Amino acid sequence: MKISSVQHIAVLLIASFFHCAADETHVTTKRGAEVSVLAEFPTGNGPFPTVVLAPGQGYHMRLPVLVETTKQLIARGYAVYRFDWAYFTKDAKHGEPAEDLSTEVEDMRAVLDLARVDPRVDKTKMSVGGKSLGSLVAWQVFTTDKALRSGLFLTPVCSHTDAGKPPVSEATENYAGSHQETRPVAYISGDHDPLCSTPLLYRFAESAGGPARVAVVGGDHSFRVQNSAGAVLDAPSTHSVSLVADLATNFIDNTLRD
């Protein structure tokens, strides 16, 4: 794993609404692919407890759920590494993940390795998380890296629905080994998410091997709230995203603080 010297921007951007320093860079994976990374830090010298957040399949790192979650984490004293998949960095319009997500797991591990060599990061206090497809990848990284304190899974992919039939759980396949995982985990979902039935999510969490939080807020797979005609309601949607970020930050606060 190496940092690209050509495309490394290495600028410290002082974002007034974050009150933090931000490093925008690329990391090169073992297979030679480039992953766009945005590392953000609270004011001060650190080292800071740190969260690495993975995006969704097309839900990139600069969209509301990941931006607002990052904002609230930084305000509470956490560093956050956000990134985009290598396929998205290369071709945002047509790129696709690997069928088995192996390249995406490699992408996330490269970002995690990048964070661990930064002196501003407290390597003893790290968590991972992700949205949708990112939650699937983050789960694989989390379960194979025992140094991580906790796992945060936003809009988990816990079920599928065939036309005219009740939803069917696929959580045990997508988050394999959850009944043996003893570290804290959190699942945050929308109450109208077609990829995660609320009753099935609660049922799945009951079998967790350790502390498991489930939070369900208003909204769809991106926490957008719609009226009966299907129009997105801006104010309720913004409130749902803010609530998700608050719930996520509370979970991280309870698992990374000594």
pLDDT digits (tens, 9 = 90+) for 165-188: 899 999 999 999 999 999 999 999
For residue 244, give every residue at least 6 positions away whose Cβ sits within 8 Å of its Cβ, in sequence order, or none: 65, 68, 69, 154, 188, 215, 217, 223
Task: Work out the average pLDDT over 33-57.
Answer: 96
User: Is the per-residue pLDDT at 17 higher than 70?
Assistant: no
Mean pLDDT estimate for the chain: 92
Q: Where are the alpha helices (DSSP H) in the chain?
A: 64-75, 86-90, 102-116, 133-144, 171-174, 198-205, 234-256
What is the reported pLDDT for 2?
40
For residue 67, give every residue at least 6 positions away whose Cβ sits within 8 Å of its Cβ, in sequence order, or none: none
Task: Work out the average pLDDT over 53-72.
Answer: 98
The alpha carbon of residue 20 and the mean position of all alpha carbons in its chain are separated, in whole angstroms, by 20
What is the reported pLDDT for 162?
87
User: Is the per-residue pLDDT at 45 higher than 90?
Assistant: no
User: Is the per-residue pLDDT at 148 higher than 60?
Assistant: yes
What is the reported pLDDT for 20?
60
Contact 70, 64 (CB under 8 A): no
Query: How many helices (H) and strands (E) are present in the chain, helices listed first?
Result: 7, 14
SS3 label, residue 195 = coil
The pLDDT tens digits of the residues spanning 207-255 come to 999 999 999 999 999 999 999 999 999 999 999 999 999 999 999 999 9
So where are the chain's domains? 2-256
CATH topology of domain 2-256: Rossmann fold (3.40.50)
The pLDDT tens digits of the residues spanning 110-139 come to 999 999 999 999 999 999 999 999 999 999
What is the reported pTM? 0.91
What percentage of residues in the chain have a pLDDT greater than 70?
92
Using the Cα atoms of residue 42, residue 48, residue 49 and residue 51 in order, give the sign of their dihedral: positive
Phi, psi (deg, nearest 5) at residue 20: -150, 170
User: Is the per-residue pLDDT at 13 higher than 90?
Assistant: no
Dihedral of CA atoms 146, 149, 154, 155 in degrees, nearest 10, equals 40
How far, in Å, CA of 145 to CA of 150, rounded?
10
